[in-house]
């Protein structure tokens, strides 16, 4: 039913495979609720009906953020139908999603990721060196999981890394001299084992890294150094952003490093940064101490 729309997402919007899959799943969920068989039947669905779907999802225990993601998928689909001349008006213009809950990003402490502590985690063979590079890339650059998997040998350019982000937008992220040397040592071993492979990080078998593998590895290593409930690659992205702000990085600079489209997405980290500054102030300033 959606083949033409999916092609539009892939080739015109240039969305990632992961994003396209999410759109497909969201639309399938709505189709099941609406019991429609053909695209033409979407023209009969009203904004009131779509609002009833929102109520159904929330009463089923779905969080507001997930509901809004599904609505975003449906909104894009109706815009495409209007663009294709299938409908004259979208019912989504009268549909407003629930307000997202505000959650502060979770992050690891600087002391938990101290270099001497981290070095003891990894073996000195190919697998250990690859895992060390993977974790350090997440923490030192703040890149997304999909961006890390897509890194090639050509993306390592001296003291910087070229990253292909969302919607194929490129950005350059600097890295430390020590990390450059660490990557170079890994590449020497990697080229001996897999001389023809273009991707920077690969499995022991030589195949391309996949999301579940990277998630499992990061979860394991973070579990060795932190007591956080969540231990994922995205936690390291939050950690990168928070530590950068705590050490004086400006919001605009951090926005560019993270590859955010707007400053509003970056501003969420200022809450964590302020909490850190408040803690430092209360400990350091003579009148900052709270009396009991």
pLDDT of residue 274: 61
pLDDT of residue 219: 96
Q: pLDDT tier at 283 (50, 70, 90 boundaries)? A: low
Q: Which of 29-43, 120-134, 193-207, 276-290 has the highest mean pLDDT?
A: 120-134
pLDDT of residue 83: 92
Residue with tokens 């240039």: 14
pLDDT of residue 156: 94
Structure tokens at 35: 């019991």
Residue with tokens 């080229």: 191
pLDDT of residue 292: 42
Please tell me the pTM assigned to this model.
Answer: 0.66
Cross-strand bridge partners of residue 164: 170
Residue 172 has pLDDT above 90, yes or no: yes
| In the chain, where the domains are located | 3-94, 111-283
Residue 99 has pLDDT above 50, yes or no: yes
Closest CA to 178 of 123, 230, 118: 118
Average confidence score pLDDT of the chain: 89
From the candidates 70, 237, 238, 255, give the one annotated as an active-site residue.
237
Residue 285 bears catalytic tag? no
Closest CA to 132 of 72, 206, 201: 201
From the candidates 51, 109, 171, 260, give the one annotated as an active-site residue.
260
pLDDT tens string 38-83:
877 888 899 999 999 999 999 999 999 899 999 999 999 999 999 9
Q: pLDDT tier at 291 (50, 70, 90 boundaries)? A: very low
Could you tell me what percent of the chain has a pLDDT over 90? 64
Residue 109 has pLDDT above 80, yes or no: yes
Residue 237 bears catalytic tag? yes
Q: Own/partner pairs for 94-103, CB < 8 Å, 24+ apart?
A: 94/47, 95/47, 95/50, 95/51, 95/54, 95/71, 97/54, 97/64, 97/67, 97/68, 97/71, 98/54, 98/58, 98/64, 98/67, 98/68, 99/64, 100/64, 100/65, 100/68, 101/63, 101/64, 101/65
Residue 169 has pLDDT above 80, yes or no: yes
Could you tell me what percent of the chain has a pLDDT over 70? 91
- The answer to whether residues 145 and 238 touch, using CB atoms and an 8 Å cutoff, is no
Q: Which CATH class is domain 3-94?
A: mainly alpha
Residue 289 bears catalytic tag? no
Residue 29 has pLDDT above 90, yes or no: yes
pLDDT of residue 144: 95
From the candidates 51, 166, 208, 217, give the one annotated as an active-site residue.
166
From the candidates 144, 190, 238, 243, give the one annotated as an active-site residue.
144
pLDDT of residue 289: 55
pLDDT tens string 225-267:
998 999 999 999 999 999 998 888 889 999 999 999 888 888 8
CA 188 to the chain's CA centroid: 29
Evaluate whether the domain defined by 111-283 bears CATH number 1.10.260.40: no
- The answer to whether residues 200 and 152 touch, using CB atoms and an 8 Å cutoff, is yes
Give CA–CA dist 176/281, Å, rounded.
30
pLDDT tens string 181-192:
999 999 999 988
The predicted model gives 136-157 an average pLDDT of 95
Give CA–CA dist 100/114, Å, rounded.
34
Residue 224 has pLDDT above 70, yes or no: yes
Residue 190 bears catalytic tag? no
């Amino acid at each position: 039913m959606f083949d033409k729309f999916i092609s539009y997402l892939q080739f015109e919007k240039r969305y990632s495979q992961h994003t396209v899959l999410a759109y497909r799943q969201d639309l399938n969920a709505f189709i099941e609720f609406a019991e429609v068989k053909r695209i033409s039947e979407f023209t009969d669905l009203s904004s009131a009906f779509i609002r009833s779907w929102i109520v159904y999802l929330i009463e089923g225990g779905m969080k507001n953020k997930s509901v809004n993601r599904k609505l975003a998928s449906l909104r894009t689909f109706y815009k495409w139908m209007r663009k294709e001349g299938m409908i004259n008006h979208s019912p989504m213009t009268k549909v407003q999603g629930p307000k997202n809950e505000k959650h502060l990003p979770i992050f690891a402490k600087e002391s938990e990721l101290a270099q001497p502590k981290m070095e003891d985690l990894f073996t000195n063979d190919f697998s250990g060196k690859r895992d060390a590079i993977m974790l350090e890339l997440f923490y030192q650059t703040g890149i997304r999981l999909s961006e890390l998997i897509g890194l090639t040998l050509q993306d390592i350019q001296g003291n910087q890394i070229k990253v292909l982000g969302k919607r194929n937008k490129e950005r350059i992220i600097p890295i430390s001299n020590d990390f450059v040397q660490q990557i170079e040592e890994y590449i020497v071993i990697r080229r001996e084992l897999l001389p023809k492979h273009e991707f920077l990080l690969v499995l022991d078998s030589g195949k391309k890294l996949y999301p579940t593998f990277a998630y499992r590895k990061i979860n394991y290593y973070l579990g060795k150094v932190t007591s956080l409930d969540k231990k994922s690659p995205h936690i390291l992205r939050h950690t990168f952003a928070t530590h950068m702000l705590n050490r004086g990085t400006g919001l605009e600079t951090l926005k560019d490093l993270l590859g955010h489209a707007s400053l509003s997405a970056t501003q969420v980290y200022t809450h964590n940064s302020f909490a850190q500054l408040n803690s430092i102030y209360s400990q350091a300033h003579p009148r900052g101490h709270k009396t009991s």
